[in-house]
Amino acid sequence: MTLSEQFKARGARMTVARRVLTGELEQATEPVGAEELCVRCAKKNRRVHRATVYRTLGLLAAHGLVSVVKASENGAAKYFPLRGEG
């Protein structure tokens, strides 16, 4: 089951922006910061806004679908999807 399918199964509305974000997270091979995700998502769809990325990352974490790692040099959180059926 994909990250977006797991998110939808938990009752989340899957907007275009959320699909783009979950797709970027699924492609991640290492934890990635929110700002980097903003840049990556904007390259795919310029209508994906920073606020949407941050809110969605918070929801994904609350649903246990992403791991939040606070180990970057500047103290910013990085995110990585939890692999599995959720």
Number of domain units in the chain: 1
Show the CA angle centred on residue 5, arms to residues 60 and 27, nearest 5°. 70
Q: What share of the chain is helix, strand, coil (3-state, %, to 5)?
A: 50, 10, 40
Q: How confident is the model at residue 75 (pLDDT cuts 50, 70, 90)?
A: confident
CA distance 23 to 14: 12
Q: What is the CATH number of the domain that holds 75?
A: 1.10.10.10
Q: In this prediction, what percent of the chain has a pLDDT beyond 70?
A: 94
Residue 86 within any structural domain of the chain: no
User: Global pTM?
Assistant: 0.89
Alpha-carbon separation of residue 56 from 17, 73 (angstroms):
9, 23
Task: Write down the pLDDT at residue 56.
Answer: 97
> Per residue in 29-67, pLDDT tens?
999 999 999 999 999 999 999 999 999 999 999 999 999
- Domain extent, residue 67, equals 3-81
Residue 27 within any structural domain of the chain: yes
17 pLDDT more than 60: yes
